[in-house]
Amino acid sequence: MLGMGPRARYWLLLACYLAYLLLGSAVFMAIEGPPESRLREQLLGHLAAFQTDHQDCLSPGKLEVLLEAVLQAQAYGVSALGNATEPENWDFASALFFAVSILTTTGYGHTALLSDGGKAFCVAFAGLGLPAGLVLVAVLHQHLLHPLRHLVSWLATRCGLLPSRVPWLQASVLGLILASIFVLLPSLVLWSQEDHWSLLDACYFCFMSLSTIGLGDFVPGQDRHPALYWLSQLALICYLLLGLLVLLSTLETVSGLKEVQTVMDFFIYSGSKSPEDQRGIVTQDVLTLSHCPLPSTSPGTGHHLQNCPTEPEVSTPSIV
């Protein structure tokens, strides 16, 4: 392994990543395939029983048309249930949450744009908002790390840590904040507030949100009373913004660790750097000597004055 060249290590890393991707796909297929088949059989059984009970009143063709319309509306976030208490998808609270999910690249997908004008505006809104968001995150990242560095320095002094271990302490503190305040604590809150969520569902939602995957199969606050819906949406917006900031700070801190950099350098392939490529490079001293002005003559003496510092004679090699 250590005797492999940079090119071989690069392709090995790529092959391992592709193998990991294929393995994950196979595991998902093996785990999720049987429940999908059972759900499909259950749904077909309900449809068959419904058609048997109402075959004199509703033809199968009309039922298919009705189901298609219901599913199409559901895909745009509009429920056909008579007892649905969900708020409108495009009141101000929902629109604000949608805008934040776009700019944070979370994109839950539970709400979809209906009009061509909305889709065009979304493209322009994201095109301008994403670069501005990156600048804002970079600024907030520096403001977040400034007090954190003071805290880490104080802890390192009190614990007598070596300077080489201080980056590890900073990464550990950020990881602890992320795991406790932005994963564990919100999961417990969601578990207690959402009626049909398990603790695993709540942890799953927090991780999918902070990683900006945002599958949209779980979105909190959808069945709440309209009076509490605004509060839940505002809390979720603050959670996304602050959580993503802490996550990015943690990832940047971890990626800057010396050990992580060593692992990255081991796999990085930046092209051929054979000894032949290093020949014929003009050094800084040679460039300095080659740009010295011609020696001038002292008036009345005829002697030449040397304007450049005395250096051993160096022959300028040709640049390959």
- State pLDDT tens for residues 257-300: 888 888 888 887 665 555 554 555 555 444 444 444 555 554 54
Token representation of residue 136 = 């804002």
> pLDDT tens-digit profile of 170-192?
889 899 999 999 999 999 999 99
Contact predicate 214/109, CB 8 Å: yes
Domain assignment of residue 306, yes or no: no
The answer, yes or no, to whether residue 97 has pLDDT greater than 80, is: yes
With respect to residue 280, please indicate whether it lies within any of the assigned structural domains.
no
Q: Domain span at residue 125? A: 89-270
Enter the pTM of the model.
Answer: 0.70
Least confident span in 66-75, 120-129, 245-254, 278-287: 278-287
Q: Which residues contact 73 (CB under 8 A, 6 or more apart)?
A: 79, 80
| pLDDT, the chain, mean | 79
Residues 6+ apart with CB under 8 A from 195: 223
Q: Is residue 313 part of a domain?
A: no
pLDDT greater than 50 at residue 128: yes
Q: Which residues lie below 8 Å from residue 91, measured CB to CB, with a gap of 6+? A: none
Given this model, what pLDDT does residue 38 score?
A: 92
The predicted-structure confidence for 60-92, as pLDDT tens digits, reads as follows: 677 778 778 877 777 666 766 654 455 567 888
Q: End-to-end CA distance of the chain: give it in Å, rounded.
A: 33
Q: What's 214's DSSP letter? A: -
Rounded Cα–Cα distance for residues 51 and 57 (Å): 9
CATH number where 179 lies: 1.10.287.70
How far lies 309's CA from each of 291, 293, 305, 314, in Å?
12, 12, 11, 13
Tell me, what's the pLDDT at 77?
A: 66
Residue 184 lies in a domain: yes
Least confident of 29-33, 109-113, 246-250, 269-273: 269-273
**Which pLDDT does position 312 carry in this prediction?**
47
| H helices present in the chain, as ranges | 6-53, 60-75, 92-103, 116-159, 166-179, 185-193, 199-210, 226-255, 258-267, 275-278, 284-290
Residue 59 in any domain: the answer is no
207 within domain boundaries: yes
Asked if the structure places residue 203 within a domain, the reply is yes
pLDDT at 121: 95
Token pair for 74: 């559901």
- Residue 202's pLDDT is what? 93
Angle between helices 116-159 and 166-179 (to 10 degrees): 130
Band (pLDDT 50/70/90 cuts) for residue 165 is confident
